[in-house]
């Protein structure tokens, strides 16, 4: 079930008031449940968070950060002590719930007055103050119908389940079949473990780069064994590439520079694989593969340069996914064509072709990979050229449909 949105009016609170509960102190992947709610507010541009906590009033105000944004966090004993301006628009939050990072954003844009816990009926997010909530009876139109899977009430005995739920939320709409069924389940095993430690996601981006270097070295060693293990390592890099983003999303450490670095390493890894594989095939099977390799590398470099230029002169950002999202806008209202495009796009994503090339390597079919690369890269370059004008006109990154 998806979150149901009723377009009535976007609510843009400047302040959030969070009613503390003992469950909010419990830790899920190195961050307390309460701090996760606080960071979720910050991610949605709420600049001041007031925590009603009679026990914790000795805590000092602080500046908290989430996804390159910041806000002040204050602790007060009761509402009378809260520093609220008449001009403030306020969101009221109940502590003790683990919620999907996108749920608050969807609620704020829904026009609904309240989001209830589908399990216990408690109010989690609300436009009305706590006293008004206790006295009011809300109609169905005023209650936001959130996906129950995106809401998890925290108790002392269910923290392991909460941690599992959190990492199930970390997939992306753009994930292909291989990513959803193979890469994500493997990468989240590592993400869940390392998220408990103060390790920045950039270290895992660096790990991906080191694995790409090892892949390149193995391929340059040449021979059929080098081609085999190089193809397998390319798939390993594809799996490991998900760890940094998963930890960043789980710990509210996502950043534009991180996205740019991740995309840059992805593109360098892809080009290194193509160039090193071409060398391995040339040294193993003869000169015909040198010509194929030159075609492959030139097509890859052309595509990367085109996309980098379009992002620089157009909407900015660091993700090449904008190409697929731009193409999807052409198929709004045409679900059959959209499904066909999504299927083709998933087949051309790195998680899919890295897996296919690993299978080719295992079966001894590595010599056929250049033809597949030339086909895929040609389609990619044509798609970039045909959609260049639309991307350049975009003022901000296009969201996925």
* Domain 177-393: which CATH number of 3.10.580.10, 1.20.120.1760, 1.10.357.10, 3.30.1490.110: 1.20.120.1760
Q: Give the residue-averaged pLDDT of 311-335.
A: 83
pLDDT reported for residue 212: 96
Please tell me whether residue 224 adopts helix, strand or coil conformation. helix
pLDDT reported for residue 395: 63
How far is CA 345 from each of CA 157, 320, 348, 365, 376, rounded to the nearest angstrom?
42, 13, 5, 24, 10
Report whether CATH 3.90.550.30 matches the domain 15-168. Answer: yes
How far is CA 140 from each of CA 8, 128, 144, rounded to the nearest angstrom?
14, 16, 8
pLDDT at 56 over 80: no
Nearest to 113 by CA among 259, 267, 6, 188: 6
**Residues with Cβ < 8 Å from 125, sequence gap 6 or more?**
91, 92, 93, 94, 104, 107, 114, 115, 144
Are 250 and 167 spatial neighbours (Cβ–Cβ below 8 Å)? yes
The string of pLDDT tens digits covering residues 60-118 is: 889 999 999 999 999 998 887 788 888 889 999 999 999 999 999 999 998 899 999 88
Cα separation, 356 vs 243, whole angstroms: 21
pLDDT at 6 over 60: no
Element of type H or E holding 98: strand 97-99
pLDDT reported for residue 84: 85
Cα separation, 6 vs 4, whole angstroms: 7
Cα separation, 245 vs 187, whole angstroms: 10
How far is CA 6 from each of CA 98, 109, 110, 131, 333, rounded to the nearest angstrom?
23, 8, 5, 25, 19
Cα separation, 211 vs 186, whole angstroms: 16
Nearest to 210 by CA among 240, 179, 232, 190: 240
Cα separation, 220 vs 212, whole angstroms: 12
The string of pLDDT tens digits covering residues 170-198 is: 887 778 788 889 999 999 999 999 999 99
**Residues with Cβ < 8 Å from 205, sequence gap 6 or more?**
244, 258, 261, 262, 265
Q: Look up residue 180 and give its DSSP letter.
A: I
Pairing of strands 143-144, 114-116: parallel
**Residues with Cβ < 8 Å from 393, sequence gap 6 or more?**
314
**Average pLDDT, whole number, for the chain?**
89
Residues of the chain with CATH 3.90.550.30: 15-168
252 sits in the region (left: phi over 0; alpha: psi -120 to 50; else beta) called left
The percentage of the chain sitting over the pLDDT mark of 70, rounded to a whole number, equals 95
Burial of 21 (0-12, 13-18, 19+ CB in 10 A): middle
**Residues with Cβ < 8 Å from 333, sequence gap 6 or more?**
none
Residues of the chain with CATH 1.20.120.1760: 177-393
**Residues with Cβ < 8 Å from 65, sequence gap 6 or more?**
39, 42, 252
pLDDT reported for residue 398: 44
Residues paired with residue 98 on neighbouring β-strands, in sequence order: 152
Q: Residues 213, 215, 216, 218: is their CA dihedral positive or negative?
A: positive
């Amino acid at each position: 079930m998806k979150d149901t949105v009723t377009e009535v009016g976007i609510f843009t609170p400047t302040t959030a008031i969070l009613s503390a509960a003992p469950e909010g102190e419990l830790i899920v992947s190195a961050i307390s449940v309460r701090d996760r709610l606080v960071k979720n507010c910050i991610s949605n541009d709420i600049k001041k968070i007031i925590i009603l906590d009679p026990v914790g009033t000795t805590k000092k105000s602080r500046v908290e950060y989430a996804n390159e944004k910041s806000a002040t966090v204050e602790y007060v004993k009761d509402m009378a002590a809260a520093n609220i301006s008449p001009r403030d628009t306020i969101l009221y939050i109940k502590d003790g719930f683990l919620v999907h990072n996108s749920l608050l954003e969807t609620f704020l844009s829904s026009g609904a007055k309240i989001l209830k816990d589908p399990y216990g009926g408690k109010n989690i997010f609300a436009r009305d103050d706590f006293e008004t909530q206790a006295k009011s009876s809300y109609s169905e139109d005023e209650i936001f119908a959130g996906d129950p899977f995106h809401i998890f009430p925290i108790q002392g005995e269910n923290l392991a389940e909460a941690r599992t739920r959190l990492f199930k939320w970390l997939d992306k709409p753009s994930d292909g079949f291989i990513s959803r069924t193979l890469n994500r389940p493997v990468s989240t095993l590592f993400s869940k473990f390392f998220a408990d430690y103060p390790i920045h996601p950039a270290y895992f981006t660096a790990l991906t780069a080191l694995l790409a270097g090892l892949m390149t070295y193995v391929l340059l060693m040449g021979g059929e064994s080098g081609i085999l293990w190089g193809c397998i390592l390319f798939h390993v890099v594809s799996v490991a590439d998900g760890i940094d983003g998963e930890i960043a999303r789980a710990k509210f450490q996502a950043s534009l520079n991180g996205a740019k670095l991740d995309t840059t390493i992805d593109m360098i890894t892809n080009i290194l694989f193509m160039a090193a594989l071409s060398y391995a095939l040339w040294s193993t099977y003869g000169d015909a593969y040198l010509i194929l390799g030159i075609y492959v590398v030139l097509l890859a470099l052309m595509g990367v340069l085109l996309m980098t230029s379009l992002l620089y002169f157009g909407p900015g950002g660091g993700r090449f996914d904008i190409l697929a999202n731009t193409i999807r806008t052409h198929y709004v209202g045409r679900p059959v064509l959209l499904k066909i495009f999504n299927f083709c796009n998933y087949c051309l994503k790195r998680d899919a072709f890295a897996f296919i090339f690993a299978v080719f390597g295992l079966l001894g079919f590595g010599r056929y990979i250049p033809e597949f690369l030339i086909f895929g890269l040609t389609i990619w370059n044509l798609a970039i050229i045909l959609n260049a004008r639309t991307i350049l006109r975009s003022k901000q990154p296009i969201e996925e449909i």
